[in-house]
């Protein structure tokens, strides 16, 4: 038994009775927790949509980290976004115990609001503890690291893709069959789209030309494809395919190092999502922007290194995953201490030529290009840009 389960058994000797499925008349206020990364949040969108569709009269509140909150502007699936930078999570990230008082304060405030039910979409002991502190009478989560007795309804859902996993949590909570199709789609963002187009036009974006979004960042350095390969790819996309390239970055300092004169886009996450919806193609590391590009409808090349592609890479006709799995330690989160660096870092095994060929494949007949026997590309500029403003 996991240590977390031992602790929860000690704190709650008697298992609470199961209370699922959620009933419309019993779920006046529903609290959802998704306190982790941007990509994890995006993967939860089909679950949010499903809950909204089946609980149309419920007030749905979503608690997320401040870094993810801008994603949910104009979101039709939740009524309220609560920013919660958990001190309990911070404790395990080296931030010390100072933030724990914040957790107690916000959980007390939420407890006083009288939520009817709460669902933790992460399924981690830390967020299960926070859900228990809020203490809605119905508490639902998958149990991966203990905390079973802190829930009224601990769920057993097979590990799989994160989008399917969270959708299955919502389906189970609602008493619906699991394993249903759960396409990842963004919602219309008219206000963010207006601001994103204004910014793109200021940096020289041509609305009539197909656009390639290059997303070279990731939360961890060991998830980043080499910068010089991104630059080489940008040159080929412009020279050989006639695409205009937009770099998606966090700040201007990164642009000086990366872009070499190409336009770049920085802004709030809702505007980033809207800008990606105007792009024909995206090439991205395993990152939040990768998931946003897929949700926006881009043809997306997903570059995976140490991460778990089976859980986070999307598999659709509009996406491709490039992932060298020859390392015996994959998936892992190792960087300088990787035990297999002598054979070459896994992301370095993905060549520019392979990424370029994958871009061509995703663009397909719309590119209007052909490759001759020597692999050189001929033909006119790429065609078939996406309809501006369509998300």
For the cut 70, the answer to whether the pLDDT of residue 14 exceeds it is no
Average pLDDT on 130-148 reads 93
| Candidate from 59-63, 76-80, 141-145, 341-345 with smallest mean pLDDT | 341-345
Which pairs count as long-range contacts for 319-324, CB under 8 Å and 24+ apart, including other chains? Answer: 319/294, 319/362, 320/358, 320/361, 320/362, 322/350, 322/354, 322/355, 322/358, 324/349, 324/350
Kindly report the length of the chain. Answer: 391
Q: What is the pLDDT of residue 160?
A: 84
List the domains of the chain with CATH numbers.
Answer: 3-174 (3.40.50.2000), 190-379 (3.40.50.2000)
- DSSP designation for 15: P
For the cut 90, the answer to whether the pLDDT of residue 8 exceeds it is no
d(CA 134, CA 52) in angstroms, rounded, equals 22
Q: What is the pLDDT of residue 195?
A: 98
| Candidate from 120-124, 127-131, 339-343 with smallest mean pLDDT | 339-343
Q: State the angle between helix axes of 100-111 and 125-134 in degrees (0 to 180), rounded to the nearest 10.
A: 50
Q: Which residue has the higher pLDDT, 260 or 374?
A: 260
For the cut 60, the answer to whether the pLDDT of residue 292 exceeds it is yes
Nearest C-alpha neighbor of 117 from the set 14, 48, 9, 19: 19
Q: Are 159 and 165 in contact (CB under 8 A)?
A: yes
Q: What is the pLDDT of residue 200?
A: 97
Which residues, including other chains, have CB under 8 Å from residue 323's CB and lie 6 or more apart? 303, 304, 305, 309, 313
For the cut 90, the answer to whether the pLDDT of residue 113 exceeds it is yes
Q: Are 247 and 262 in contact (CB under 8 A)?
A: yes
Average pLDDT on 378-390 reads 37
At residue 366 the predicted structure's pLDDT band, cuts being 50, 70 and 90, is very low
- DSSP designation for 22: P
Average pLDDT on 346-353 reads 93
Give phi and psi for 169, each to the nearest 5.
-60, -50
At residue 382 the predicted structure's pLDDT band, cuts being 50, 70 and 90, is very low
High-pLDDT (> 90) share of the chain, %: 68
At residue 376 the predicted structure's pLDDT band, cuts being 50, 70 and 90, is very low
At residue 302 the predicted structure's pLDDT band, cuts being 50, 70 and 90, is very high
* End-to-end CA, the chain: 46
Q: Which residue has the higher pLDDT, 9 or 279?
A: 279
Classify each residue of 351-370 as buried b or exposed e, where b means 16 or more C-beta atoms within 10 Å of its C-beta: ebeebbebbbebbeeebebe
Q: Residue holding tokens 């080929």?
A: 236
Tell me the β-bridge partners of 63.
33, 82
Please list the alpha-helical segments (H only) found in the chain: 3-11, 38-43, 45-54, 87-91, 100-111, 125-134, 162-174, 190-202, 227-241, 252-258, 269-276, 288-296, 309-312, 352-363
d(CA 292, CA 215) in angstroms, rounded, equals 11
For the cut 50, the answer to whether the pLDDT of residue 377 exceeds it is no
Q: What is the pLDDT of residue 388?
A: 32
Q: What is the pLDDT of residue 99?
A: 80
For the cut 80, the answer to whether the pLDDT of residue 258 exceeds it is yes
- Global pTM reads 0.88
């Amino acid at each position: 038994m996991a240590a977390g389960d031992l602790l929860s058994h000690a704190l709650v000797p008697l298992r609470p009775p199961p209370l699922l499925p959620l009933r419309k008349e019993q779920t006046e206020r529903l609290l959802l927790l998704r306190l982790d990364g941007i990509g994890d949040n995006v993967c939860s969108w089909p679950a949010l949509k499903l809950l909204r569709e089946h609980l149309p009269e419920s007030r749905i509140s979503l608690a997320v980290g401040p870094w993810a909150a801008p994603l949910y502007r104009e979101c039709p699936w939740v009524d309220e976004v609560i920013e919660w930078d958990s001190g309990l999570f911070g404790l395990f990230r080296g931030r010390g115990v100072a933030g724990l008082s914040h957790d107690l304060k916000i959980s007390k405030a939420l407890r006083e609001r009288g939520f009817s039910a709460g669902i933790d979409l992460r399924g981690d002991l830390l967020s299960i503890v926070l859900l228990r502190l809020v203490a809605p009478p119905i508490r639902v989560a998958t149990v991966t690291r203990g905390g079973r007795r802190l829930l009224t309804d601990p769920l057993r859902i097979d590990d799989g893709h994160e989008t399917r996993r969270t959708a299955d949590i919502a389906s189970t909570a609602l008493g619906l069959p699991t394993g249903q199709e759960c396409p990842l789609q963004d919602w219309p963002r008219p206000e963010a789209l207006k601001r994103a187009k204004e910014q793109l036009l200021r940096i020289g974006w041509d609305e009539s030309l197909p656009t390639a979004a290059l997303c070279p960042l990731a939360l961890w350095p060991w998830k980043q494809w080499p910068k010089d390969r991104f630059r080489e790819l940008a040159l080929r996309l412009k020279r050989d395919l006639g695409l205009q390239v937009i770099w998606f970055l966090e700040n201007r300092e990164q642009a000086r190092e990366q872009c070499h004169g190409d336009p770049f886009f920085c802004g709030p996450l809702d505007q980033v999502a809207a800008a990606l919806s105007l792009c024909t193609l995206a090439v991205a590391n395993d990152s939040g922007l990768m998931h946003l590009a897929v949700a926006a409808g881009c043809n997306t090349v997903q570059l995976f290194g140490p991460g778990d592609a089976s859980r986070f890479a999307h598999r659709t006709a509009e996406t491709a995953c490039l992932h060298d799995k020859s390392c015996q330690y994959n998936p892992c989160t190792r960087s300088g201490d990787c035990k297999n660096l002598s054979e070459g870092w896994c992301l370095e095994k993905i060549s520019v030529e392979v990424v370029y060929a994958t871009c061509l494949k995703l663009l397909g007949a719309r590119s209007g290009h052909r490759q001759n026997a020597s692999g050189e590309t001929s033909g006119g500029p790429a065609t078939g840009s996406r309809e501006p403003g369509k998300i």
